[in-house]
Amino acid sequence: MTALKDLFSSLLDFIQRLGAMGSFLMRILRVLPGSLRRFDMHLRQLWFIGAMSLTIIIISGLFVGLVLGLQFYSALNQFGASGALGTLTALSLYRELSPVVAALLFSGRAGTAITAEIGLMRSTQQIEAMEMMAVDPIRHVVAPRFLAATIALPLLCVVFSALAIMGAHWSAVLWLGLDNGTYWSSMVGSVDLVDDLLAGVFKALVFGVLVALIAAYQGYHAKPTGEGVAYATTRTVIHSAIAILAFDFVLTAFMM
Amino acid sequence: MTDPAAANPGSRPPPAVAIRKLTTQLGSKRIFDGIDLEVPRGSVTAIMGPSGTGKTTLLRHLTGQLAFDSGRVTVLGEDIGQLHHEPLYRLRRRMGMLFQHGALLTDLTVFDNVAFPLRENTDLPEPLIRTLVLLKLQSVGLRGAAGLMPAELSGGMARRVALARAIALDPELMLYDEPFVGLDPIAVAAVVELIITLNRTLGVTSLVVAHEIEHLRRVADRLVVLADGGIIADGPFDQVQADPSPMVQQFLRGLSDGPVPFHYPAAPLTDELGIGGAT
Amino acid sequence: MAANRSFEIGTGLFIVLGFAALLFLATQTTNMAGFRAADTYELKARFTNIGQLKERAPVKLAGVTIGTVRSISLDGTALDAVVHVDVDSQFSELPEDSSLSILTSGLLGDQFLAIRPGGSPEFLVDGDEFLLTESSLQLEELIGKFMVGGDGGGERGN
Ligand SMILES: Nc1ncnc2c1ncn2[C@@H]1O[C@H](COP(=O)(O)OP(=O)(O)O)[C@@H](O)[C@H]1O
Ligand SMILES: [Mg+2]
C-alpha cells in the first residue's frame, strides 16, 4: 500500500519536473529570437560548447570505427558476408551509434560545463545581478548556450560518423584485407542519404535540444552552494543519459 | 495613489518605499509577520538585525525577485506585487543594488562590467558609453583597473567596481547588502564616502543593510532594527540606541546572551549528557 | 577585439568542418554517390520475379555501377514486374541484345541488376526494353530443388 503510494508520488514528482522543464523551454524559446541580435554571444558559446568538444568526439569516433571494423569483419567473415561490412558499419553508425554516443559524450563534456557555469553564476549572485540590471538572464545566459548546443551536436555527430567510417576502413581494409572497393560500394548501394544519414543527424538535433535543456535547467535551478552545483552537474549527466536513450527509442520507433 | 494610508498628510512627496503589513513565509519559517515601513525620498536608512532575520529577503522583495505572501510593497510609486516582466524590468532600471559579494560577471572585464547595464538597456553610442564608464570608474577610484578581469581584483576593489556598475544607470534608489563586510579600513572609508556622496549630490534614496553601527551612523540618518519577524526599533540613531527594550540593547551592544538566546533551543545539557538529575 | 576575431574564425572553422564531414559522408557513403536524373537515359525490363530488388538498387556492368533502379511496378495484364532503370548517358553503347539479371551481392547481401552485354551492332536507346532477362534466384526454390532431387521448384519463365 505504501509502496504504491510512494510510486504514485514519485510519478507525480516526475510529471511536475517535466512540466517545469517544459515551461523553462518555453521561456527560452520566447526570448531566443530577441537574443539573436547579439549574435557574438552565440558564436562565443558555439566555440566553447561545440569546438571544444571536438577532441573527444574525434578520438572516440576513430576508436569506435576501429572496433566496429574488427568486430564486424570477424562476425561477417563466418558467413562469407564480409562484403556487407561497409553497409553494416555505415547503417549502425548513422542510425544509432553516432547520434547516441556523440550525445552521451557531449552531455559529459559540454552539458556539465553548461550546468557548472550557470550554477556558478547563480551561486555568486551573477544571475541576480543581471536581473537587477534589468537584463533577463534567460535571454543573456541561457539562450545562447541552448542554441549553441542545439547546433553543435548535429555537427559533432557528423564528425563522429566521418571519423568512425575512416576508423573502420583502417581496421577492416588496411589491416584485415577487405577489398577497398567493396567497402565503399557496399555503403553506396544500401545507405540512403535521407532515411539513414540525415535521419541520424535529425536524432542528434533532438538530443542536442534535450542535453541543452537539461543542462541549462539544472544549472539555473542549482542550489546556490558549491555542493548544490556539484550535485546539479551529476544530475545533468544522469538525466541526459536517460533522456537520450528514451528518446532514441521513441524516435527510432517513429522513423522505422 | 488611492490608498489613504499612502497619501501623506501635508505636501511631502510620496515615499520611495512603502511597505504595508508585509508577511513572508519561507519554507517552515515565518520571516516577516506584518511589518510596516516607509522610506522617504532622498533619505538614507540603515537596517540592522541578527543574521537570518530576513534583511536580504526584504531587499529581494523590494526588487521583485522574491514574491511575498501578503501585504503591499510600493517602490518608486509602483506596486511591486502587480509588476511582471517588462514593467518590472523598467522599474529595476531605476534601482541599483550592491550585492553582498559584488556579483561581477566573471567573463567580462571591469570596463565591460560597468558598461553592461548601459549597453543592454540603452542605445547610447559606444564613445559615450566609454565616457560614462570611465567617469563611473573614476568616482570609485578604479579608472586604472578598467582592463582587469574580476578574478584579478581584491575584495574591496570588486565591491567598488560593483558599486560603479550599480550606479551606471543613475538609479533613484540604491540598495546595499552588507557593503562593508570583508573590506579593509581604507576600502570601507571609500564605500562610506561613496554612499554619502551619492545621497548628498544626486539625492539617491538609499537602504543600507549592515552590522557595523559606527559606519552606518556616518552614512544614515535613521536606523531600523529587524528581529523576530518584525521591526523592533525605528528612529534616529541616538533615539534607537537609547531604546530601553532589552532586545535592542542586546543587539546594539553586542551581548552574546539576552532575549535573543545564545543557545539554539535544546534540552538541558545535563539531561542530554545523562548526568546531574535531581541535585 | 582581436580575441573576438579569433573566436569567430575558430567557430567558423568548426562549422565548416561539420559540413565538410557531412559532404564527405553524403557523397562517398550514401546513394547520393549514385546517379541523378541530369545525365541518364531510361531503359526497362520485365521479370517474372524480382525477389528483394528495391528502388535505387545499383545497375552494374562488369561489376561497375552505371545506373540505378528508378521504379518497380506490376503490369496488370501481363502479370509480370516492370523495372525502370536510369543508366548513365556516358554508357550509351549497350548492345541491343544485352541481357539483364537480378543478382545478390554475397550470400546475404542486397540485390542488384547486372547487365550482360550482347554482340549486336545496334544499341539500346532511351525507352527501350531489355528482351532477355533473368529473374531473381529464390533461395527457397533452390533448396527445394536439391531436396526433391531436381524438379521441385515449379516453372520459371525464360
Ligand atoms: N529561498 C529560500 N527558501 C527557504 N528559506 C530561505 C530562502 N531564502 C532565505 N531563506 C531563509 O530565510 C531566512 C532569512 O534569510 P536572509 O534574508 O538571507 O537573512 P539575512 O538577514 O541574514 O540577510 C534565513 O533563515 C534563510 O535560511
Ligand atoms: Mg543577508
- C46 & C12 share domain: no
* A17, A195, C79, C87 from C75: Cα distances, Å: 58, 28, 5, 22
- Sheet strands side by side (includes B230-235): B95-98, B173-177, B205-209, B44-48, B222-227, B230-235
For residue A117, name the pLDDT band (cuts at 50, 70, 90).
very high
Question: Domain count of chain C?
Answer: 2
- C4 & C65 share domain: no
- C108 & C133 share domain: yes
Residue A50 belongs to a domain:
yes
**Closest of B91, B69, B63 to residue B22, by C-alpha:** B69
Q: pLDDT digit of tens for each residue in chain B (279 aa)?
A: 444 444 445 556 788 888 888 888 888 888 888 889 888 888 899 999 888 888 889 998 998 888 888 888 888 888 888 887 788 888 888 899 988 777 899 888 999 999 999 988 888 899 999 999 998 898 888 888 888 898 898 888 888 899 899 988 888 999 999 888 888 888 888 888 888 988 888 888 999 998 888 888 888 889 898 888 888 888 888 888 887 887 778 777 776 666 666 667 777 787 878 776 554
How far is residue B193's CA from residue B203's CA, in Å, rounded to a whole number? 14
How far is residue A255's CA from residue A196's CA, in Å, rounded to a whole number? 10
Q: Which among A45-54, A145-154, A189-198 has the top mean pLDDT?
A: A145-154
Decide if A109 contacts A117 (C-beta within 8 A): no
- C90 & C71 share domain: yes
Atom of ligand 1 nearest to the CA of B53: 21
Decide if A26 contacts A32 (C-beta within 8 A): no
Which residue owns the Cα nearest ligand 1 atom 6?
B26
Quick one: pLDDT at residue B2? 44
How close is the nearest chain B Cα to the Cα of A125, in Å?
5
- C46 & C3 share domain: no
Q: How far is CA B72 from the centre of its chain?
A: 19
For cell 541484345, the residue is: C97
Residue C127 belongs to a domain:
yes
* A12, B71, B191 from A2: Cα distances, Å: 15, 40, 59
> Does residue B47 have its Cβ closer than 6 Å to ligand 1?
no
Residues of C in contact with A202 (CB under 8 A): none
Whether the CB of A57 is below 8 Å from some CB of chain C: the reply is no
pTM of the model: 0.79
For residue A99, name the pLDDT band (cuts at 50, 70, 90).
very high
How far is residue A141's CA from residue B192's CA, in Å, rounded to a whole number? 33
Residue A148 belongs to a domain:
yes
Q: Does the distance separating the beta carbons of B93 and A134 come in below 8 Å? A: yes
How far is residue A111's CA from residue B256's CA, in Å, rounded to a whole number? 48
Task: Specify the higher pLDDT residue, C77 or A106.
Answer: A106
For residue A255, name the pLDDT band (cuts at 50, 70, 90).
confident
3-state secondary structure of C157: coil
Closest ligand to B60 CA?
1
Q: What are the cell numbers at B260?
A: 535573543
For residue A6, name the pLDDT band (cuts at 50, 70, 90).
confident
Domains and CATH numbers, chain B: 15-94+172-279 (3.40.50.300), 102-170 (no CATH)
- C108 & C75 share domain: yes
How far is residue A149's CA from residue A160's CA, in Å, rounded to a whole number? 16
- C26 & C81 share domain: no
Task: Specify the higher pLDDT residue, A86 or B183.
Answer: A86
The mean pLDDT of A128-146, rounded to a whole number, is: 91
Residue of C11, C58, C105 with shortest CB distance to A47: C11
Task: Specify the higher pLDDT residue, A172 or B13.
Answer: A172
Q: What's the Rg (C-alpha) of chain C?
A: 22
Residue C116 belongs to a domain:
yes
Which residue owns the Cα nearest ligand 1 atom 26?
B52
**Closest of A40, A255, A31 to residue A139, by C-alpha:** A31
Closest ligand to B59 CA?
1
Pairing of strands B222-227, C58-61: unpaired
How far is residue B19's CA from residue B22's CA, in Å, rounded to a whole number? 7
* B9, B190, C60 from C37: Cα distances, Å: 88, 78, 17
B264 by Cβ neighbours in 10 Å (0-12 / 13-18 / 19+) ranks as exposed
Q: At what angle do helices A85-92 and A54-77 cross, to 10 degrees?
A: 140
Residue A31 belongs to a domain:
no
Pairing of strands C99-104, C132-134: parallel
Residue of C13, C17, C106 with shortest CB distance to A80: C106
Quick one: pLDDT at residue C1? 46
Closest ligand to B48 CA?
1
**Closest of A241, A94, A217, A233 to residue A154, by C-alpha:** A94
Which residue owns the Cα nearest ligand 1 atom 27?
B52
Question: Domain count of chain A?
Answer: 1
Which residue owns the Cα nearest ligand 1 atom 10?
B26
The average confidence (pLDDT) of chain A is: 92
What single-letter DSSP state applies at residue C39? G
Quick one: pLDDT at residue C154? 45
> Does residue B67 have its Cβ closer than 6 Å to ligand 1?
no
Dihedral over alpha carbons C60, C62, C64, C65 (to 10 degrees): -10
Best residue for ligand 1 mutational test, from B56, B66, B100, B264 (most atoms within 8 Å of Cβ): B56
Decide if A22 contacts A15 (C-beta within 8 A): no
Residue C156 belongs to a domain:
no
Q: How far, in Å, from the CA of C146 to the mean position of ligand 2?
A: 90
How far is residue A199's CA from residue A225's CA, in Å, rounded to a whole number? 41
> Does residue B55 have its Cβ closer than 6 Å to ligand 1?
yes
pLDDT lower than 50: segments of chain C:
1, 37, 152-158
Which residue owns the Cα nearest ligand 1 atom 5?
B26
Residue C148 belongs to a domain:
no
Residue of A133, A135, A138, A139 to mutate, testing the B interface (most B Cβ within 10 Å of its Cβ): A133
Q: At what angle do helices B155-166 and B110-121 cross, to 10 degrees?
A: 20
> Does residue B100 have its Cβ closer than 6 Å to ligand 1?
no
Residue C19 belongs to a domain:
yes
For residue A72, name the pLDDT band (cuts at 50, 70, 90).
very high
Residues of B in contact with A134 (CB under 8 A): 89-90, 92-93, 117, 120-121
The tens digit of pLDDT for each residue in A139-149 reads 989 999 999 99
> Does residue B26 have its Cβ closer than 6 Å to ligand 1?
yes
Residue of C21, C25, C106 with shortest CB distance to A84: C106
A9 by Cβ neighbours in 10 Å (0-12 / 13-18 / 19+) ranks as exposed
Residue of C4, C30, C108 with shortest CB distance to A188: C30
- C20 & C60 share domain: no
Residue C12 belongs to a domain:
yes
Amino acid letter, B161: V
SS (H, E, C) chain A: CHHHHHHHHHHHHHHHHHHHHHHHHHHHHHHHHHHCCCHHHHHHHHHHHHHHHHHHHHHHHHHHHHHHHHHHHHHHHCCCCHHHHHHHHHHHHHHHHHHHHHHHHHHHHHHHHHHHHHHHHHHCCHHHHHHHCCCCHHHHHHHHHHHHHHHHHHHHHHHHHHHHHHHHHHHHHHHCCCCHHHHHHHHHHHCCHHHHHHHHHHHHHHHHHHHHHHHHHHHHCCCCCHHHHHHHHHHHHHHHHHHHHHHHHHHHHHHC
Quick one: pLDDT at residue C144? 78
Quick one: pLDDT at residue A68? 95
The tens digit of pLDDT for each residue in A208-218 reads 999 999 999 99
Quick one: pLDDT at residue C6? 77
Interface of A with B in 126-145 (CB under 8 A): 126, 128-136, 140
Residue C152 belongs to a domain:
no
Quick one: pLDDT at residue A152? 95
- Cβ–Cβ pairs < 8 A, chains A and B: 54
Residue C109 belongs to a domain:
yes
Q: Does the distance separating the beta carbons of C11 and A86 come in below 8 Å? A: no
Burial A117-137 (b: 16+ CB within 10 A, else e): bbbbbbbbbbbbbbbbbbbbb
Residue A123 belongs to a domain:
yes
Quick one: pLDDT at residue B66? 87
* A69, A219, B23, B57 from B30: Cα distances, Å: 66, 28, 8, 12
Burial C54-68 (b: 16+ CB within 10 A, else e): eeebbbbbeeebbbb
- C131 & C106 share domain: yes
Quick one: pLDDT at residue B4? 44
Interface of C with A in 41-70 (CB under 8 A): 56-58, 65
For cell 542586546, the residue is: B250
Decide if B25 contacts B188 (C-beta within 8 A): no
Residue A59 belongs to a domain:
yes
- Sheet strands side by side (includes C132-134): C129-130, C40-47, C80-88, C64-75, C58-61, C111-116, C99-104, C132-134
For cell 541576480, the residue is: A128
Q: Give the environment of ion ligand 2: residues with CB less than 5 A.
A: B 56
Closest ligand to B177 CA?
2
For cell 518497380, the residue is: C72
**Closest of B79, A90, B261 to residue C26, by C-alpha:** A90
How far is residue C157's CA from residue B215's CA, in Å, rounded to a whole number? 107
Which residue owns the Cα nearest ligand 1 atom 24?
B52
| Residue B273: count of CB within 10 angstroms of its CB | 8
Regarding an ipTM greater than 0.85, the answer is yes
Q: How far, in Å, from the CA of B52 to the mean position of ligand 1?
A: 6
Domain of residue A128, residue span: 39-255
What single-letter DSSP state applies at residue B114? H
Atom of ligand 1 nearest to the CA of B66: 1
* A173, A236, B146 from B127: Cα distances, Å: 62, 43, 15
How close is the nearest chain B Cα to the Cα of A3, in Å?
27
Quick one: pLDDT at residue B173? 92
* A150, A203, B45, C84 from A248: Cα distances, Å: 16, 7, 59, 37
Decide if B116 contacts B164 (C-beta within 8 A): no
Residues of C in contact with A155 (CB under 8 A): 14-15, 17-19, 21
Q: What are the cell numbers at B113?
A: 562590467
Alpha helices in chain B (DSSP H): 55-62, 85-92, 110-121, 126-139, 155-166, 185-202, 213-219, 237-241, 246-253, 269-273
Domain of residue C19, residue span: 1-30
